[in-house]
């Protein structure tokens, strides 16, 4: 029973974190850009959402939109550092990430902001629903259901949006830019603008995920983005392993959502099996390193079989 509850919680967690994975997918897989700024923009989304609710009493749904916009600005900064000022991709992201650490502290005025007793998306929805006693379930179960529903609605909406956007003329140019910049420029497209656009969308989605996670866990923390890129990558590669050959863009996006859920289930499982939470990041890093090296290892093995040394 205990493990079933843990799995149920993992599914809801996976869904609120799925938007992060989708954002990482846009930079890492579509743009071919390892964007470290996502660690900062994830915490930025959380900080902005929390502070707007706690300090100003803004509608929780509205805070998600503002958080997304803040993330988009962060993405634009990384993009400008990289394209206009020619700073290497990885370093541009790191600079934004480090800068955002201070900015997030400034926004919150402290290292974390608690949402206890605050109106969040979850409390608003729970107000509409019958009480747990009436439904005959535990309070925590209802809480998980609400988080799950919010995660699902946002993730499906974001998948729809990404699917539409990357099918448009601009979206096609962004995809092609990640593939072959020379060709895209030869077709009369400003690749700098395409990269910036991709980073803007990606970081917007990642900040959105940060806001959702903050509201579902009941606090924002300046360190909540640490390892975000690895968690996003883990979701992507798990999705790729499960689906093997996603037939089209829609199923690829869906595979990332499912990958995010499975990642949380794996984490819940190893924690149940007694893994120390301190070791979690190392565990994730090892899983992602192995998953990313599988294609190379396979190629090497095939070469060895053919007689190469």
Partner 1 sequence: MLKITDLYKTFNPGTVNEKQVLKGVDLELKDKDFVTVIGGNGAGKSTILNMIAGVHYPDKGSIVLEDEDITYIPEYKRAKYLGRVFQDPMMGTASNMAIEENLALAYRRGDRRGFAWGITKEEKEIYVDKLKELDLGLEDRLTTKVGLLSGGQRQALTLLMAALRKPKLLLLDEHTAALDPKTAEKVLKLSEQIISDNALTALMVTHNMKNAIQYGNRLIMMYDGRIIYDVSGEEKRNLKVNDLLEKFQSVSGGEFANDRMMLS
* CA distance to 16, 38, 117, 170, 257, per residue, from 145 (Å): 12, 28, 19, 37, 17
* CA distance to 3, 7, 302, per residue, from 276 (Å): 16, 18, 37
Binding-site member from 69, 137, 176, 230 for partner 1 (CB under 8 A): 176
Rule CB under 8 A: is residue 167 a binding residue for partner 1? yes
**Span near partner 1 by CB under 8 A; candidates 13-21, 45-53, 184-192, 269-277:** 184-192
Rule CB under 8 A: is residue 186 a binding residue for partner 1? yes
Pick 6 or 193: Cβ nearer partner 1 = 193
Rule CB under 8 A: is residue 201 a binding residue for partner 1? no
Q: Give the interface size with partner 1 as a residue count (CB under 8 A).
A: 21
**221 strand-pairing partners:** 112
Pick 190 or 304: Cβ nearer partner 1 = 190
Pick 85 or 116: Cβ nearer partner 1 = 85
**Span near partner 1 by CB under 8 A; candidates 96-104, 153-161, 177-185, 215-223:** 177-185
Binding-site member from 188, 305, 308, 309 for partner 1 (CB under 8 A): 188
The residues near 205 (Cβ < 8 Å, ≥ 6 apart) are 19, 20, 22, 23, 26, 68, 71, 158, 162
Degrees, nearest 5: CA angle 156-152-217: 135
Distance between CA atoms of residues 169 and 172, nearest Å: 5
Pick 110 or 187: Cβ nearer partner 1 = 187
**114 strand-pairing partners:** 219
| Residue 35: DSSP 8-state | -
For residue 65 the two structure tokens come to 């939109």
Q: Identify whether the C-beta of residue 18 lies closer than 8 Å to the C-beta of residue 235.
A: yes
Binding-site member from 144, 191, 235, 284 for partner 1 (CB under 8 A): 191
**Span near partner 1 by CB under 8 A; candidates 13-21, 128-136, 169-177, 300-308:** 169-177
User: Can you say how many angstroms the Cα of residue 301 is from the centroid of all Cα atoms in its chain?
Assistant: 33
**Span near partner 1 by CB under 8 A; candidates 17-25, 62-70, 75-83, 163-171:** 163-171
Rule CB under 8 A: is residue 173 a binding residue for partner 1? yes
Rule CB under 8 A: is residue 185 a binding residue for partner 1? yes
Rule CB under 8 A: is residue 277 a binding residue for partner 1? no
Site residues for partner 1 per CB under 8 A: 167-173, 175-176, 179-180, 182-191
């Amino acid at each position: 029973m205990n493990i079933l509850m843990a799995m149920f919680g993992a599914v809801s967690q996976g869904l609120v974190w799925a938007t992060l994975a989708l954002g990482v997918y846009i930079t890492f897989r579509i743009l071919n850009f390892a964007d470290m700024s996502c660690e900062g923009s994830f915490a930025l989304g959380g900080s902005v959402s929390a502070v707007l609710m706690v300090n100003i009493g803004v509608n929780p749904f509205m805070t998600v939109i503002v958080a997304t916009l803040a993330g988009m600005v962060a993405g634009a900064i990384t993009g400008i550092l990289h394209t206009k000022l020619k700073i290497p991709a990885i370093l541009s992201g790191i600079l934004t990430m480090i800068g955002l650490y201070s900015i997030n502290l400034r926004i919150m005025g402290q290292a974390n902001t608690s949402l206890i007793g605050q109106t969040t998306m979850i409390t608003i929805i729970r107000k509409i629903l019958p009480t747990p006693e009436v439904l005959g379930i535990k309070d925590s179960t209802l809480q998980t259901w609400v988080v799950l529903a919010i995660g699902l609605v946002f993730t499906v909406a974001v998948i729809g949006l990404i699917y539409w956007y990357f099918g448009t003329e601009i979206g096609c140019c962004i995809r092609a830019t990640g593939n072959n910049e020379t060709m895209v420029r030869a077709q009369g497209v400003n690749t700098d603008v395409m990269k910036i656009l991709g980073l803007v969308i990606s970081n917007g989605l990642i900040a959105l995920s940060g806001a959702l996670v903050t509201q579902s866990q009941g606090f924002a923390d300046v360190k909540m983005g640490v390892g975000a890129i690895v968690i996003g990558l883990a979701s992507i590669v798990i999705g790729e392993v499960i689906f093997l050959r996603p037939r089209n863009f829609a199923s690829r996006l869906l595979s990332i959502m499912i990958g995010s859920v499975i990642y949380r289930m794996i984490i819940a499982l190893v924690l149940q099996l007694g893994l120390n939470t301190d070791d979690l990041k190392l565990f994730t890093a090892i899983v992602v390193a192995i998953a990313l090296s599988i294609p190379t290892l396979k190629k090497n093995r095939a070469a060895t079989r053919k007689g190469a040394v």
